[in-house]
Amino acid sequence: MCGIVGLHLREPSLEPRLGELLSAMLGQVVERGPDSAGVAVYGDPRLSPPGRTVVSVLGTSAAEVAEALPGVTAIDADATTVVHAEAAEVIRALPGARVIGSGEGFAVLKGTGNPVALAESFGLARVRGWQGVGHTRMATESAVTPEGAHPFSVGPGQCLVHNGSFANHATVRRELRAQGVEFDSENDSEVGARFVAHQLARGADPEKALRLLCERFDGFYTLLVSTGDSFAVVRDAIACKPALVAETPQWVAMASEYRALDVLPGIEHARIFEPEPEEVYVWRR
């Protein structure tokens, strides 16, 4: 199961509504993943002020950050704490903190429990910005923990959400480890995220990275991958897992079910289609 939602705004006047719209979309896919949830948001000035590096971490709190790093801004959002500092600085001061995302203009928020309640505890409806992705999880490959929730963000400003399962993730994990890639969990979706991040770090663009993923990974999957300037969707060779894309001049959205798109303004005028198997769709800012 699992539920995916994503919204890429083309119209700046909609940016104050990003969190409101993403919350509404997330609420429509709760039944697909009641165990845990997470979001990544791009462009919110409170969570990720312009020009500042931000790190999202688990295993600490804003109060602990304030004690260990005086003068550093930190924001609690359920299990996640968003810190306006470099990841290395946070880890040095708080060795128990676990990084779940870092980059400029970007924040990741994750937790366990009912996705609607989590969105409320994140303060998601008040978030603004130009892009957001979300995920509701039904755990199959690893424990129900905040670490196991999606999005998986393992490169600067990058994240991946996944519905499905990778059959050969153990083999690909070994190959990546042999190339020096480190892992934080046994989750199969993290393998996909690490593979994509590894390809991007080697100079591939999102389209090429996802084409290479399709060549190397076996299994059933729908993926939504976002970066600081792109929003990309791909499905496996038989398109086993559901996905719909809606596009208007004001926005592009993707979701596992139509009802998550139906909450968006202007949906009645959108071009709506089902992504073709192994075809990579990329929209850029």
The residue assigned the tokens 């992504």 is: 275
Annotated active-site residue in 2, 159, 214, 240: 2
Residue of 185, 207, 180 whose CA lies nearest to 196: 207
Alpha-carbon distance 202 to 179, whole Å? 12
CA 10 → CA 108, 153, 215, 229, distances in Å?
Answer: 21, 23, 31, 12
Omega into 151 within 30° of 0, i.e. cis? yes
Task: Please confirm, yes or no, whether 2 is among the known catalytic residues.
Answer: yes
Residue 43 is encoded by which pair of tokens? 């462009």
Alpha-carbon distance 214 to 176, whole Å? 16
CA 222 → CA 2, 61, 88, 160, 210, distances in Å?
Answer: 10, 33, 32, 10, 11
Phi, psi for 225 (deg, rounded to 5):
-120, 130
Residue 176 · residue 198 · CB < 8 Å: yes
Phi, psi for 254 (deg, rounded to 5):
-135, 145
- Residues involved in catalysis: 2
